[in-house]
Amino acid sequence: MTGRGFQPIDPTRREAERSALALAAADVGEHEWDVVRDEWFVSVRLASLTGLTPGARPARDGEALYDHVHPGDVDTLRGEVGEGLRLRDRYDARFRFIRPDNGRLMWLQGAALAVRGDHGQLLKTVGVVRDISADKGEADHREALLAELDHRIKNVLASVQSLAAQSARRTVSIEAFLETFFGRLDAMAAAHTLLTATRWRGAELGHIAAAELGGLAPGQARWEGPDLLLNPRATHALTLALHELSANAVKYGALSTDTGRVDVNWRVSAKGGFQLVWTETGGPIVAPPARRGFGSTLLERVTGKEIDGAVGLDFRPEGLQATLTAGPAALASETHPERVMPLSAGQSPTRTEPQGGASRGGGTEADISGLRVLIVEDAVLLALELESGLSGCGAEVVGSAADLDEGRRLLSLEFDVAILDVNLNGKSVAPLAESLAGRGIPFIFATGYGAAGAAPEGFSAPVVRKPYNIRQIATALAAATGRV
């Protein structure tokens, strides 16, 4: 029985309204390609989503669907659409799209079903398109973060290897090696703990001092200075430096007696960095050491470069005084956090894989004797180990640079081949690679990144991944110079 004024709802109309609401809720736009009439229909929703003009237009045998697709994706999309319709009567593809109304680049996901006639002929396709730009951006960001994490972990492993090798060369017993190496390893772990607490923005200089001095001789060590946030690289360097100074003070210096004292003071320098002074008093009479141990090498050759400054050691009779002068680059920027190196989307360079179980200082089948090598590596510990390993293989290291500017200056030297760290404190080594390629000087890349961001695109140089051993480096150098 029908009530007064009741109008039955057309089922077809209800279905159309339900479909329209579903499309709106999913934030997608629909389109249709009529193969028989050679027309492509763009809905109002799709037009609003993509900047296309709504309505029907000539499909040009389907080519109109690709008019505003990014040129780099046209062939791939055309292949995915053709294969999908041919094999599955549907396709689902992701592609870049340039809006015709404002030129903005978007990421779209398109899916469609085929409608066929009685004899299997394609009559039309009906599909929807969704804007996935935000999702794609988040996915790319996650991939970049994972790549950066992978890079950092590999650099840490490479640094640990170098630290172990350098420590072993300067000790005469396994007990002495374990004591010094584990102490340095603990210092590295302390630096990582401080950096993790700030999500790798940096670490407060006061916290670094407290971590290294807080557990030593209560009442005999004091530290004081303004609040300064050091970047991750400087954090590691200063932590290791304070560890070496502390260990020396406990064994031979002011903290080896009950009357000794260590004072650590730092201040902001006029040029924007800082100066830290370590002063020992009240301990045994000090004389300059008869030989230079790895601790001195670490302080004078590694720490200075890592903090963009210099380290001076003054062996005064009343106690050691160490002065660490850091440049502005050692400080973390609150507004410009440590940069993530962009991943290369270009061609994959040749990769040099591990060649077996040779030790870091062992021999190698590759002949690099007599080669003059330039090292460009921002991790100075790794550069030191490279110098030792290459010298052991008969090569000559003509120079070692830790950043782009220093690398450019060293290009004036005479050398046969170069080792280029891909990421120099967040900057690509590509400018140096271009200079070398232009001069016809071979080089190899060293990187802590995975395959996706192995090296700058456009170069066919061998790539060695961190952590590496000297055999891998020698093999790559021999390959780059035509010796294998």
Tens of pLDDT, residues 290-315 = 776 777 778 888 888 889 899 999 99
Mean pLDDT of 4-12: 57
Alpha-carbon distance of 460 to 351, in angstroms, equals: 9
Tens of pLDDT, residues 28-60 = 888 999 999 999 999 988 898 899 999 999 999
Give the start-end residues of each E strand in 329-415.
372-376, 396-401
Position 353 scores a pLDDT of 37
Is 180 in a helix, a strand, or coil? helix
Helices 133-169 & 174-197 angle (0-180, nearest 10):
160
Alpha-carbon distance of 481 to 444, in angstroms, equals: 10
Mean pLDDT of 180-197: 77
pLDDT above 90: percentage of residues in the chain? 39
Does residue 411 contact residue 388 with C-beta atoms inside 8 Å?
A: no
Q: Does residue 337 register a pLDDT over 80?
A: no
Does residue 248 contact residue 289 with C-beta atoms inside 8 Å?
A: no
Mark 230-250 as b/e (b = at least 16 C-beta within 10 Å): bbbbbbbbbbbbbbbbbbbbb
Write down all domains in the chain, each with its CATH number in brackets.
16-131 (3.30.450.20), 134-169+341-484 (3.40.50.2300), 175-330 (3.30.565.10)
Does residue 391 contact residue 384 with C-beta atoms inside 8 Å?
A: no
Position 382 scores a pLDDT of 79
Q: Does residue 348 register a pLDDT over 60?
A: no
At 394, list the tokens.
């008969």
Alpha-carbon distance of 465 to 154, in angstroms, equals: 8
Alpha-carbon distance of 160 to 181, in angstroms, equals: 9
Quickly tell me which residue has 């320098």 as its tokens: 269
Alpha-carbon distance of 76 to 99, in angstroms, equals: 19
Sheet containing 28-34: give its strands across.
Answer: 55-58, 39-42, 28-34, 122-131, 105-116, 90-98
Q: Which of 469, 382, 447 is nearest to 166 (CA)?
A: 382
Does residue 478 contact residue 369 with C-beta atoms inside 8 Å?
A: no
The C-alpha R_g of the chain, in whole angstroms, comes to 32
Q: Does residue 101 register a pLDDT over 80?
A: yes
Does residue 155 contact residue 449 with C-beta atoms inside 8 Å?
A: no
Q: Higher confidence at residue 77 or residue 301? A: 77
- pTM for this prediction: 0.52
Q: Does residue 246 register a pLDDT over 80?
A: yes
Answer left, alpha or beta for residue 342, where phi above 0 means left and psi between -120 and 50 means alpha: beta
Q: Higher confidence at residue 92 or residue 388? A: 92
Does residue 389 contact residue 400 with C-beta atoms inside 8 Å?
A: no
Is 389 in a helix, a strand, or coil? helix
Q: Which of 56-70, 156-170, 450-464 has the highest mean pLDDT?
A: 56-70
Position 162 scores a pLDDT of 67
Does residue 418 contact residue 376 with C-beta atoms inside 8 Å?
A: yes
Position 349 scores a pLDDT of 33
Alpha-carbon distance of 367 to 395, in angstroms, equals: 9
Q: Which of 307, 483, 302 is nearest to 387 (CA)?
A: 302
Q: Which of 126-130, 229-233, 270-274, 319-323 has the highest mean pLDDT?
A: 319-323
Q: Which of the four pLDDT bands, split at 50, 70 and 90, describes residue 8?
A: low
